[in-house]
Structure 1
Amino acid sequence: MYSTIEMTKEDRLARLTLNRPDSMNAMDDVMMKELADAFESLKTDKDVQVLIIQGAGRAFSAGGDIKKMMDPESPMDIGEVMVDVSRLAKALYELPQITIASIHGAAAGLGFSVALGCDIILAEENSKLAMNFIGIGLVPDGAGHFFLKERIGVPLAKQLIWSGDVLNGKLAKDKGLVDELVPDGQVAQASDMLAQKFLNAPIAAMLASKKILHTQKLNELEDVLRMESEQQVAMRRTEDHLEGITSFVQKRKPTFIGK
C-alpha cells in the first residue's frame, strides 16, 4: 500500500515505520503524502488506541530530503509539498490515539516536527534532535512552530529555531523536548512497554482528555500551518536558501547575506 512507510496493527496498537533507511528516512514528496494519507486513515480507525512512530535503520528521520529538492530531473513542487506537510501535521494532532515518538539516531527538521507532534517522546541518550531549517535558510514546517511553542513556550522556541542547534537526548530532555530518556539501543523496547501501559489503563478517558485539550487549539494550528506554508514558499525563493542547500551538498560552510 505504501512505498516509503510501513504500518502494521496488532489489536489496539498500530506501528508506523518511516522506511527509507538508505537515506536516514529523509522525507521526500512521496513520504510526505503517504504520511498524510496514513494519519488521515487512522483518524477514523476506532479499533486502534495507541500509535508508535519509529524509523527504520539508523535514524528516526533526517528531515526533508535536500538532495531531492535539488534534483533537476524530478524537482519537488513546493506548493504541492506544503499541502501534504500541512495535511500530515493537522491529522497527526487530531489523531484519536495516544501517539508515541520512538527516537534513535537523528530526528531533524520535519522529522523533529513529526516527533514533537506526538503525545509522548522517547529518545535514546545519544540521539540527535534538531530544528535545523535555519541552516538552509528556511522556517520550520509541519507545525514545528506550533508544537515547539506548546512544549517549551515562545522564548525558548525562538532560540531553538534561530540557532538550529543539534541536541543530544539528555540535553533535549533537560529542555523539555523529550519526555523519557532511554539507553542507546533500548528505545523500541521502552516504547512497546509504554504502549502496553497505556493499553492496560482506562485509555478511553485519556483519549477524551486529549480531544478536549487539542480541539480548542485547532484554529491556532491551522493558522500556523497556513503561515508556515506561505513563508516556506517565500523562503525557497531567497538567495540564502539557495546558498544553504548548495553548501550542504558541497559540504562547506554557507555564506548568508540576508536576502
Structure 2
Amino acid sequence: MSYTTIDLEILERKAILTLNRPQAMNAMDAKMMQELADCLEKLHEQPDVQILIVKGEGRAFSAGGDIKMMLGADGAVDFEVLMSYITRFAKAYYTLPMLTIAQVHGAAAGLAFSLALASDVIVAEESAKLAMNFIGIGLVPDGGGHFFMKERLGVAKAKQLIWEGKVMEAQEALAQGLVDHIVPDGAATAVVDQLVGKMLASPIAAMLETKQILHAEKLPELERILQAEAKSQAKMHGTKDHQEGITAFVEKRQPNFIGQ
C-alpha cells in the first residue's frame, strides 16, 4: 500500500499510520481523506495486525480539515465526495479488529480530534491542544464527532463542548475524560511503545473480542450519526455563517456571525 499524504508501516503485530502533510500541519485535504478511507479499509485485510498507532508527522497530530480546500483555493471539491470519504474512514476505523492508539502532539483539531476520539486509547503530550472547533467556522462536527464526544462525555456535556468549540490544554482534556494519558513533551513515542508492549503481552484476542462486542452494539448508531452529520454539514456548508467563519479564519480576525 503506497500513499502520498499518509504513511503506513506494518511491523509484525502492530502497524503505525502517520498523517504526513507536515507543511500543512497534517491538515486533511481531499487526497488525505481518500487515502485514510482506502488505508483503513485495507487494514481489515491484515489479520495478523493487532494494534494500530495513529500519529502525525512534524509539529502536530493534525490541524483538522484543510481550510484552503474549503475556500476552493486548491481547486473545485465535490462536497458529497468529501463526506463519503469521511464516513468511510470513520466507520472503517471504528470497526477495525485491532486495538487503536492515538498518539497526539501539537494540535488535534476538528476532524482530527474526531479521529483521535475514535481510538481505543488516546495518549497526549502535555503541550497538546485539542479542540472540537467546527463551530468556529459555522459547521457541525463530522467524522463521527457527535458520536465519539457523546460516548466519552454523555449528551449534555458533549453538546456544551461542541457549542463552545474551545481549545483545550491536555490537562483539561484529561479532566473531561477526552484523553486517557498525558505524558511529557517528546515522550509520547516511548510511552506508546510501553503500552503496545503491555498489550501484546496480554491475552489480546480476548481484548479484541470485548471491543467487537461493544462496538457491534453501537455501530448502527454511529452509521446513523455519520449520515446525519453529512446531511447537516451540507446544509451548513451553504450558510453565510460558514463563509464568514472560514474567511475570518484566513484573515486572522474574529468572525461576525449573523445566524444565517
Is the TM value for this pair above 0.5? yes
State the AA in 2 paired with 1:28: D
Identify the residue that residue 136 of structure 2 maps to in structure 1. Answer: 135
Give 1:193 deviation, angstroms. 1.1
Identify the residue that residue 241 of structure 2 maps to in structure 1. Answer: 240
- Answering whether residue 168 of structure 2 is matched by residue 149 of structure 1, we say no
Matches within 5 A, 1:1-259: 1-72=2-73, 74-259=75-260
Give 1:42 deviation, angstroms. 1.1
| Distance in 2 of aligned mates of 1:71 and 1:232 | 16
State the AA in 2 paired with 1:130: A
What do residues 96-154 of structure 1 show as CA deviations (whole Å, max 9, x unaligned)?
Answer: 00000000000000000000000000001110000000000000000000011111111
Q: Normalising to structure 2: TM-score of the pair? A: 0.98
Does the Cα contact within 8 Å between 1:61 and 1:108 map onto a contact in 2? yes
Identity level (%): 58
What do residues 60-119 of structure 1 show as CA deviations (whole Å, max 9, x unaligned)?
Answer: 000000012213451321110000000000000000000000000000000000000000
Q: CA 1:166 to 1:208, structure 2 compared with 1: closer, same or farther past 3 Å?
A: same
What do residues 8-46 of structure 1 show as CA deviations (whole Å, max 9, x unaligned)?
Answer: 011101000000001100000000010011110111210
Does the Cα contact within 8 Å between 1:69 and 1:75 map onto a contact in 2? no
| Distance in 2 of aligned mates of 1:250 and 1:72 | 14
Unaligned runs of 5+ in 2: none
| Distance in 2 of aligned mates of 1:253 and 1:165 | 14
| Distance in 2 of aligned mates of 1:30 and 1:190 | 31
What do residues 164-187 of structure 1 show as CA deviations (whole Å, max 9, x unaligned)?
Answer: 000011110000000011011111
| Distance in 1 of aligned mates of 2:22 and 2:121 | 23
| Distance in 2 of aligned mates of 1:255 and 1:45 | 49
| Distance in 2 of aligned mates of 1:207 and 1:129 | 27
Does the Cα contact within 8 Å between 2:68 and 2:74 map onto a contact in 1? no
**RMSD value over aligned CA atoms?**
0.7
| Partner-residue secondary structure (3-state), 1:229 | helix
| Distance in 1 of aligned mates of 2:26 and 2:192 | 19
Unaligned runs of 5+ in 1: none
| Distance in 1 of aligned mates of 2:178 and 2:55 | 17
Does the Cα contact within 8 Å between 2:126 and 2:182 map onto a contact in 1? yes
| Distance in 1 of aligned mates of 2:40 and 2:248 | 34
| Distance in 2 of aligned mates of 1:186 and 1:15 | 17
| Distance in 2 of aligned mates of 1:240 and 1:77 | 20
State the AA in 2 paired with 1:195: V
| Distance in 2 of aligned mates of 1:73 and 1:121 | 32
Which consecutive segments of 4 or more residues in structure 1 shift more than 3 A?
none
State the AA in 1 paired with 2:87: S
State the AA in 2 paired with 1:220: E
What do residues 171-221 of structure 1 show as CA deviations (whole Å, max 9, x unaligned)?
Answer: 100000000110111111111111111111100000000000000111101
| Distance in 1 of aligned mates of 2:193 and 2:62 | 19
Aligned length: 259
| Distance in 1 of aligned mates of 2:198 and 2:56 | 22
Q: Normalising to structure 1: TM-score of the pair? A: 0.99
| Distance in 2 of aligned mates of 1:73 and 1:20 | 15
